[in-house]
Amino acid sequence: MIAFIPSKGRPSTKTHEMFEASGFKVYHFIEPKDFDGYDVKNKINIGADDQGITFVRNFMLDFARTNEIKHFIVCDDDVNKFGIVEGSRAVSLPNAEALLKPFNIFKKSDFALGGINQRQFAWSEKKNYRVNTGKVECCIFCQTDLITWRYKEDTKEDRDFVMQCLDNRQSFVSFPRIHLNMPAIGTGPGGLNDHYQNNSDAVWARKLVIDWPGYARLIKQYGRTDAKLDYKQKAKDMGLKVI
């Protein structure tokens, strides 16, 4: 099992420790200027500084193809817990144990992408899985052979990537009762924090709405401008199953 963690300005990240303790081989993808400051295994120098999240995401896709890695997880470097829902309670599990069952199911499937939920939303979920609806961001399961599209610039890259998945008539699966926990957007150093402080996410949200007319609309969430996408309708319009 393999996990990719792109990291910028967070040499003290501990996310990889959870994956490693649960049997994953973890690769970190790091900019040249930060490279020597990271004391982690399997460091990959992405060859350029300050090229943005799109650059590193596409670099990881190319790395997976070059190294014949068929299934992998891409996880943000500030995720600090994983867990499951028991009844109507979100419960944390040790390390990345919560990911083992859904990831193994994903590896045996014909889904291009997979995802889990955020802790604050998971407790109310009744379904163990959803097809072509739900969340696929922050911690993403990828099947390299089925991904033929690229990450795009200046947008909400995870959500746009899911819309491209559907646009290419590929399906995704979400496990809404499996969850992750991470700090609130824009509250920690490193990563995309500078962009959030400059409200770049509002620009990205508007770009998403422009790129996916009829399937995206602007909303206000937690005091920030965001975009809400209708994956379900897009999937139906592409002739894909929705569960």
User: How confident is the model over 158-194, as pLDDT tens digits?
Assistant: 999 999 999 999 999 999 999 999 986 655 564 444 4
The pLDDT value recorded for residue 157 is: 95
CA 115 to chain centroid: 7
The pLDDT value recorded for residue 186 is: 54
In three state form, how does the secondary structure of 205-239 look?
Answer: HHHHHHHCCCCEEEEEECCEEEEEECHHHHHHHCC
> pLDDT class for 28, splitting at 50, 70, 90?
very high
Q: What is the mean pLDDT of residues 203-220?
A: 94
Q: pLDDT (tens digit, 9 = 90+) per residue, 183-192?
A: 866 555 644 4
> pLDDT class for 31, splitting at 50, 70, 90?
very high
The pLDDT value recorded for residue 98 is: 98
Burial category of 88 from C-beta neighbours within 10 Å (exposed 0-12, middle 13-18, buried 19 and up)? exposed
Are residues 79 and 180 in contact, defined by beta-carbon separation less than 8 angstroms?
Answer: yes
What sections of 44-124 are H helices per DSSP? 52-66, 97-107, 119-122
Are residues 31 and 108 in contact, defined by beta-carbon separation less than 8 angstroms?
Answer: no
CA 168 to chain centroid: 19
Work out the mean pLDDT of the chain and round it to a whole number.
93
Question: Which of 20, 60, 62 has the alpha carbon at shortest distance from 40?
Answer: 20
The pLDDT value recorded for residue 185 is: 61
The pLDDT value recorded for residue 111 is: 98
CATH H superfamily, domain 2-184+192-237: Spore Coat Polysaccharide Biosynthesis Protein SpsA; Chain A (3.90.550.10)
Question: Which of 62, 68, 1 has the alpha carbon at shortest distance from 29?
Answer: 62
Q: pLDDT (tens digit, 9 = 90+) per residue, 96-151?
A: 999 999 999 999 999 999 999 999 999 999 999 999 999 999 999 999 999 999 99
Could you give the 3-state DSSP secondary structure of residue 150?
coil
Could you give the 3-state DSSP secondary structure of residue 100?
helix
The pLDDT value recorded for residue 109 is: 97
> pLDDT class for 200, splitting at 50, 70, 90?
confident
Percent of the chain with pLDDT over 70: 93
Q: pLDDT (tens digit, 9 = 90+) per residue, 59-77?
A: 999 999 999 999 999 999 9
